[in-house]
Each structure stands twice: as C-alpha cells, then as structure tokens.
Amino acid sequence: MPRFAPLVIGFDKVHRTDTGLVGGKNASLGEMITTLGAKGIHVPPGFATTADAYRDYLSANGLEAAISRELGALEAGRIPLQEAGRAIRSMILGGDWPEATERAILAHYRSLCETAKEPDAPVAVRSSATAEDLPEASFAGQQETFLNVIGERALLEACRKCYASLFTDRAISYRQIHGFDHMQVALSVGVQQMVRADTGGAGVMFSIDTESGFPDAVLINAAWGLGENVVQGAVAPDEYQVFKPFLDSPGLVPILEKRLGAKAVKMILDRDGSPRNVPSSKAEREQYVLSDAEILTLARQARVIEDHYGMPMDMEWARDGVTGKIYIVQARPETVQSRADADSLKSYTVQDPGPVLLTGLSVGSGAVAGRVSIIESADDIGQFVEGSVLVTGTTDPDWVPIMKRAAAIVTDHGGRTSHAAIISRELGLPALVGCGNATHVLHDQQDVTVSCAGGEDGTVTAGLSQIVTTVEPLDNLPRPETRVMLNLANPGAALRWWRLPVDGVGLARMEFVISNAVRIHPMALARFDRVHDPETRARIEQLTAGYDRKTEYFVDRLARGLSRIAAFCYPKPVIIRMSDFKTNEYADLLGGRPFEPSEENPMIGFRGASRYYSDHYRDGFALECQAIARLRGQMGFDNVIVMIPFCRTPQEADRVLAVMAEHGLKRGEDGLEVYVMCEIPANVLRAAEFAQRFDGFSIGSNDLTQLTLGIDRDSDVLSNLFREDDPAVLWMIETVVREAHKAGSKVGFCGQAPSNDPAYARRLVELGVDSISVTPDSFLQVLRNAADAEAG
C-alpha cells in the first residue's frame, strides 16, 4: 500500500491544517515558520515525526494488541491506572526503531546540525498529540518535553520517551474524562534547535488579559533561565501588561503594568547538559528579566500571531542568552476567556470578611468559602478532601484529578500563566497563586474564604463569609442620551469592566492608586533628606530599589496604575482627579508624618487645590503632574482629563493651573481638558467665573451636601438629615448646571444617589446634567434609571 504521508517532515513544510499529521503544537510551529517569518516572528528551525511514524513504531514492535489488552483490563477494573500506565510505557521504551523512521529522523537532525553549524546541535524535543478524527485536539500539557538533547542516540531515546508519555497516568486519565479513544490518538515528536534561554530568560505570553478577557491587552510572564519554571508555576515570574492599540504608534511606550516577581530559582543546564534549578542571584531577583524594548517587541509578536490566527493566543517564548534574540517556541489558541459568555456579567461580593491571612495574584473573579486541605506532595493527593480549598506549593498535570474536585486553589509559587492558574481558569475555580507562604500560614481543616473579587490581588480571609453572586445580562441594554460613566479607584479591577457599555470614567481617584501602588508620600521622595526615621528610610530604599531617582519611582508607579483605568474604555474620556487625601490620610503614607500638619478638622482643612501651589506640597504635586504628563504623552492616553478637587476660589484655580502648566499640563495644549470638582457652595455661587477657567464641572454630591447643609457626612447622629435630595442641594445642582451650560461647560454628577433612587436619577436628567458617574455595581441600574427618565 503506497504511503501518502512522510515519516518525518520539516517545519518549513508544515501548516496549521496539518494537525492530523503532526498534532496541534507542531502544526502551529510550522505555520509560524512558513508564514510569519517575514513579519518578524522568529521560531527555532526543526522537524516533526508524523502520526504515521508513531503507528509504524507500534506496528513494528507488535504493540497495538498488547496496549489494547492493558487498556481493556483497566476499563474492566482488573488493574489500577498506575499499573496499566507503567506496563504500556515499559513496552514502548523497550521497542526498536523501524529502520526507515530512524533513518529519516537522523537525516533531518543532521541537516539541522548543518544549519546550526554545530555537530550534535542541542535540541528541544516536544510531544504533540493528535487524534485522527479530531484534529483540533492538541492535548496541551499532557505529554513530556525534553530539553538540551545532544547527539543522535540521545535524540532517538528522547523520541521514545515522548511516545511513552502518551500513556502517563495523567494522559490516560485525561482521555478517559474527555471521551477520546486511546488507540485513535497518535503522537508526533517536534525537534527544535535549542534556544539558549538557560543563560537568558523565557516565559509565557497571552494576547488577551487572562483574568478579564480584555482583548486589547497582552500579558507577559518572564523568569530567568529555561521556561519550564514559568509553565509549571515553580517561580513567581515578572508580569508585564501592554496596551495593543498603541503598539504601532511611534514613540509611545504603552506598558500598563510591570510587576517584579520573586524569581527565586532559575533553570540552567548542568555540566552534563541536563536542566536543573539553582537559586537566582540577588541581582537577578531585583531586576526585570525584560527591558521595555523587549516587552514591546514580544507584545507586537503576540499581536501578529493573534491577527494571523484570528483568535486570542497562548504562546511560549525564549530569549537566547548568547545572541539576545527572542523566539516564539509555541503558540496555541487561548481557550478560556475567548469562549466566555460576553452577554452577561457575573460579580461576587464577600460580606463581612474576616481578617486577611494571605494575599496573592487573583485568578478569575470568583469567591469561595471552605475548609483548607493542605497537600504538599503529589504522593499525598489521595488525602485530599473533596470540595476543600486545595493549598499547595505548586501544581503540575499530575494534580489535575484533585484540582477538579477542589472548591478553590491556593499556591505558594507561580504567576498568572502557571499550570495552577491555567487549570483553575479552565475549571472555573477561584485561585490565588504566588502567595509565598500559604502552606506555612494556613493549616489543615481551617475555615477560610478565598476571594478574587477585588481585582488583581486576591485574599484569603479567616472564617466562612457569606458570598453573594450577581448575574447581569448585557444584551438589549438601553443607551440614554445622558452619559453614564464609572467611578473607579482600583486599577487592578479596572479591566474587568470592559464589557460594560460605559461612556467613560467620570471619576478616577488618584489617591487610591497612590496609597496602594505607590505607598510612599511624594514629599518623602522629593525631600528624602527630611526623612530621619531609620526604619522608614530603609523601607523607602527597599521599595525604590532599581530606580535611578526616588521621585521616578512615584511617577512611574502612578502613571502605570492610572494607565489601566485609562485603557479599559479608550478612547472614551477618563477623568482623573488629582490627589484628594486629607492631612491625616497623607500622614499615614510611608514617610508622610514629617510633612503633614495636625488638623482638628481635616475634612475642611489643608486639602485639594490649596495644597498644589503651597510650598508644603508643591514638589509633591509636581510629581503628580509628571505622572499625568507621562500617561498622556509617553504612554499615549490622550483621553485623560484632569480634575481639580476642593478648589475654593477662582484665584486659587489660576494658581493651580499655572503650576500645572509649569510641569507640562497646560490646559488646551495637546487637547488637555481640565475639570473642577463642584463640591463647595462657592463653586456654585461663582460658577460663571469657574467656567472661564475650567472645561467642565463634576458635582461631588457628598461634599456638596455636607457643606450646603452643614452636616458631617460621617455623623451617625445626623445621618437622617443628610439628604442629597434636600431642596437646597437640588438648587445648588440646578444652578451650577444652568450657569455652566451658559458658558459652554459640561456638568457631570458623581454619587450613589441615582443608583439608590430612580426618582433622583430622573431629577438629574430633568436638570440637564451631561453625565452621571457611579460605581460599577450600580452602573446597569443607573443606565436603566436614566433611560426611563428620558423616556418620561
């Protein structure tokens, strides 16, 4: 019978349609080599054995019937999984290569050595499984990979081991669960020229945000050495996030996030050429694996690959430590967020959480209350209690059977692209990865609540909290003329709201980003010589390590934190309010106490605009301005509008605008708009004068009500009198809307009243406010309230 398919084929002759021939992984490598090389995608050269070569190997060694017998005995329950798998692997490893297959493998290997100009060139040997009648099945993560294989004999042995790995316990179990016929699945072996990432770095990359499904972000994880540690979750890698729409804009650096990972170990090549883990140096732990230029290069490659395949992609990359060249070593479709239901929004709220025991990187947005089951070794997975919170150091494919039975997963190590994270997403489980010491802090049978509902940083809290789940349909939503916007503070949660049909962000609170992402008082950085406490100085030195100037730490961290809020709804407007801490809140920032006065009533004290031109804070405000200038200029987010809080007089406005202009934020230049918070009766009474200086007003209903009625908004005793619908407050709103519109200025409203009371929303629409801005949990209700009000 004539053979139509070769036994071995070069990647340069393979296309994505050849999954039945060489499996999904190898078909993808061939596709990139044959079609994307001219677009800057570098893939190490190599070749693949075909499904026919695998079947020939089984046939030549008379293994089909023997394997079928073992599997039959397993199905009948006569032998356990471990015994069946061990017997089949032993048969395959003991087989001999058919002469034609061995000759073809070695011929291609010798050709690869000639191309590399190196005898016995090191190669990576990877498994790529396929099913003849199910060519889309790639069986990712189920089979083995062997790195730095050197020489012909070693190559043939590695290929045998790849064949045998088709029958690991986890692979057999996977096929049983998914209903695949074991004997119809074949295995292709991919052989690639080895990238010397052992002296460089490697990692994983997604062309979509893995937690929110936000399509305009690229997520990159990176660690020193070979990439297996990142894939397996054995290290806490660096994490970078890039905004795709700006990647072709000259001069822009749209890196939304740079999170330094611990990277405690790295995988290198031992003296005998075998991979092994060693501790990373202190210098390596304290610096990023990738430069900004390399981050952007990888992000562009992710976008090229995604555009070519027409779908979000999951990729592995490696940087050669000798040449510095970056390679894509694997690409496959992303299978979780790209298939998520985009027509509804599910959110979770943890009520009355207990004390925080642990924090880690959130995977998913869910929350679970349950009992801890600590399993530190795969040998002990039989002790796992079904329905418990699985707590462990790290996971690999051997852990999948118990991960399926877990309520949530918590790991010491790993990043958002680790095995634990990927499987948790596929299973729809909340997970916290990279916690550092979960197996040390938690104990067996402890009641905890695991929450990923707060954004990118999740928590484990003590006790069993009640969790409320809300599902909101997003189809057939009304679109009122009154713009409905979001109030946002947490950059870590911003991207999750991208599916909402928002008209922008009406209020982004800078102080929240400062307190959470920066944590240091800006004056303590601008005037570090005035910080005398040794412990505080040491902590500031630790946080700012790696920055040439301490002030650059503030500007960089603040700009990146705000960029995620600016990105999720770009190009719609995002109004960022400059910092509005009170003096007691500023003092609580690291290093803040020497720079803040003690006030009896900080609520109406040294806050807002009065700080910005004062010698007591002017240098700190300069850093805030530099962060906004970088956000709009270097990063490209020209949708950002600046808002000044608590501005008492038009003369004060003039002084603030002058200081802003000194630091690159001149109103009207490069399209910059500047708004003012309307929260003081003087803002209403002198609205015409303020309108000459600002492009818009944003009504802060809490402070405006407080100062109109003379009621402390935090007073329990007077809470029954604190009403935003008081006629005096409504007169204030009506007046500022009228006066602002006369001057051509826009007016927005920030507050919860329209979400709590449909009649209030109707009243705001009747008064003619241009926009209403509320928290995300209220957005859909306010959208409906505004539409109902407009409909009469």
Which residues are marked as active site? Answer: 419, 750
Closest CA to 9 of 190, 130, 156: 190
Q: Is-contact 290 240, C-beta < 8 A?
A: yes
* C-alpha dihedral, 557 to 562 to 563 to 564, nearest 10°: 110
| Per-residue buried b or exposed e for 504-515, using 16+ beta carbons within 10 Å of the residue's own CB | bbbbbbbbbbbb
| Strand 574-577 relative to strand 640-644, pairing | parallel
Rounded Cα–Cα distance for residues 128 and 141 (Å) = 9
Rounded Cα–Cα distance for residues 111 and 233 (Å) = 35
Q: How far is residue 482 from each of residues 494, 502, 673, 748, measured CA to CA in Å?
A: 22, 11, 20, 10
φ, ψ for residue 150, nearest 5 deg: -125, 125
Q: Is-contact 675 730, C-beta < 8 A?
A: no
Please name the residues in contact with 101: beta carbons below 8 A apart, sequence gap of 6 or more. Answer: 7, 8, 49, 53, 56, 57
Q: How many other C-beta atoms are found inside a 10 Å radius of the C-beta of residue 571?
A: 11
Rounded Cα–Cα distance for residues 587 and 440 (Å) = 34
- DSSP notation for 336-396: SGGGS-TTEEEEEEEES---EEEEEEEESS-EEEEEEEE--SGGGGGGPPTTSEEEES---
Q: What is the 8-class DSSP label of residue 516?
A: I
| Strand 746-750 relative to strand 8-10, pairing | unpaired
3-state secondary structure 233-297: CCCCCEEEEEEHHHCCCCCCCCEEEEECCCCCEEEEECCCCCEEEEECCHHHHCCCCCCHHHHHH
Q: Is-contact 758 766, C-beta < 8 A?
A: no
Q: Supply 494's token pair.
A: 């911003």
Rounded Cα–Cα distance for residues 767 and 784 (Å) = 17
- What are the start-end ranges of the E strands in 1-96? 8-10, 46-49
Q: Is the dihedral of CA 93, 146, 23, 108 positive or negative?
A: negative
Q: Is-contact 415 361, C-beta < 8 A?
A: yes
- Per DSSP, the three-state class of 120 is coil
- Per DSSP, the three-state class of 183 is helix
Please name the residues in contact with 772: beta carbons below 8 A apart, sequence gap of 6 or more. Answer: 482, 483, 484, 485, 506, 748, 749, 754, 761, 764, 782, 786
Angle value at C-alpha 459, between 341 and 224, nearest 5 degrees: 85
| Strand 8-10 relative to strand 46-49, pairing | antiparallel
Closest CA to 213 of 383, 309, 345, 93: 345
Rounded Cα–Cα distance for residues 650 and 688 (Å) = 10
